[in-house]
Every structure is written in structure tokens, then in C-alpha cells.
A and B are shown apart, each in its own frame.
Chain A
Amino acid sequence: MNKPVGPFEITIQESDGFTVIQLKGKFIYGQTDTARQKLNELDITSNGYIFDLSQLSFIDSTGIGTLIHFSKRVGTKKIAILVLDPLILQLFTISKLHLIFPLVSTHDEAVRKIKDGYQTPFTFDE
């Protein structure tokens, strides 16, 4: 929470067959509707979905719920989450998200995990 906090933003870009979803600011109660709508409209034929949370300052249980909601659409094998902030990483770990998604620290690692068909203990297909 020490990093500068701007308004919440979600940007979606294609990169080498992968969809990169970047979240910035605070992904919290009162801000998740926009993201949920954009994710619901997203084409789910991509090779994989990389949630880039490197610019995210905070996420709460409603933000986590939105990630879970999306994973039910596309299957967890096609998702990797790039997370650097120690507090967000701690929150994901206590919420056991590491059992569902690979949590990675670089874009390349995210691509590699998805390409290799990396499986977490609770992986499921769409």
C-alpha cells in the first residue's frame, strides 16, 4: 500500500496470442463491476490470460471474487497471475489462491507456465 494510488483502471491487450489484463490502483468493493463486465465480454479463445497486478496497490475479497468468477469461464489452466506486492501476495496465499492459479513474478514466467500446462493442486478446465 505504499505505492502511489490512482483510480482503478483495467486495460486488456493481446500479446503473442496471450491476453494481458492489467489492473491498476485499488481493485476493491465499489470498483469491481466495471472489471467484471469487461471480463464477461472478453473473447475466451485466447491461448492464455495473464493478470498483470504489478501496478495494483490493493485488492480485497470482492476483487478476489472477480478473479474466481473469470476463472470459472476460461478454466484455471489458461490463467497466470503476475503479482509483486508482498501484501497482495500474502493475501493471495492466505486466501489459498496459489492452489488455483500460478502466481508469478514476470511476464515471461506467466507465459511459460501457461504454455507448459502448469497445474496447480486445484486446476480445472473450462
Chain B
Amino acid sequence: MIRVQIDCPAQHEYLELMEGTYQSTLEKVCFAGRHALYVAVHEALINAIEATQQTYGEETRETVSLQMTASPAEVVIHIIDSAGGIPQDVLDRQYCTTLEDRLWEENGRGLLIMKQMADELWFEKTDDGRQLVGLRKRGEHTSE
């Protein structure tokens, strides 16, 4: 099992660094199904960056954290930010709308894509009051 933690300023220039780091780890672990997970994690990261910038301003140095525990059998990823969390009405909408309902919307697909690409998606508060989005993906029997 491998554990990785990356903390970066909530700026889109750091996306590539965060994604490159955890993705190269998943390649080493030969985690099958990793490409679908990349899509889900990317959506979680851009949500965290956008929310942090909306809360603290576009030049913020507040961080977004990615924590990953990976084995060939399962990967669990936490994306953590200090932006106050996803509003409850947005979360509620996630459970009562489908991607068909959002065909013509130019944004708002991220959570639904995350839900489709990961095996589990959850939201919680950390002990220090930050917001955590959790993603779990189980390994497949064959590697990609």
C-alpha cells in the first residue's frame, strides 16, 4: 500500500503538479480503472480550487490537499479544502437530478461525473473543520 499527500495553493497552475504526482503513483501500483478515477479526481480538484478562489479571492494562497491511499485492490482519495463546503442545495440536487436534466447547462456536471466515474463519493468535515470530498475506486481484475 502507498500513501501520498500533496498540498498546493488553490491555483489552476498547480493542477498538473497534483495530478501528475498521484497519477504516476497509480501507474506504479498498476491500478486498473485508474483512468476513470483520473476524471473524477480532476472534477473534485477543480471544484475545490474554484470554491477556494470564490471564498478567499483569485490570488489566494489557501491550499487544496490531495491524500491518496492506493493498492492494486482499491484506491481512496480525499480532496480537502477550506472553502466552506458544497452548499446543501447543490448536494441535494445531485441526488434528484440526472445528467439528462442538465443537458443544456454549461456547468454543474462535475459532481454527477464524479459520481459516475468513482465507485463511491462522499462528503464530510475533517477534525480541523475543513471540507473533504472522498472518492473510492475498487480495482478490476485486469490491469489497463
Pair count A-B, CB < 8 A:
60
Chain B interface, >50% SS class: helix
Known: A60-B46, A68-B104. A1 touches B38 (CB 8 A): yes
**B117 CB, nearest partner CB in chain A, Å:** 7
One of A10-18, A38-46, A87-95, A107-115 contacting the partner = A87-95
Q: Number of B interface residues, CB 8 Å?
A: 25
Please give the residue numbers on chain B whose beta carbons come within 8 Å of chain A beta carbons, in ascending order.
12-13, 15, 35-36, 38-39, 42-43, 46, 49-50, 99-100, 103-107, 109-110, 112-113, 116-117
Q: Is A34 close to B, CB under 8 A?
A: no
B104–A60 CB distance below 8 A = no
Residue from B12, B13, B46, B113 within 8 A of A94 (CB atoms)? B113
In which size bucket is the chain A interface?
A: 20 to 34
B42 to chain A, nearest CB (A): 6
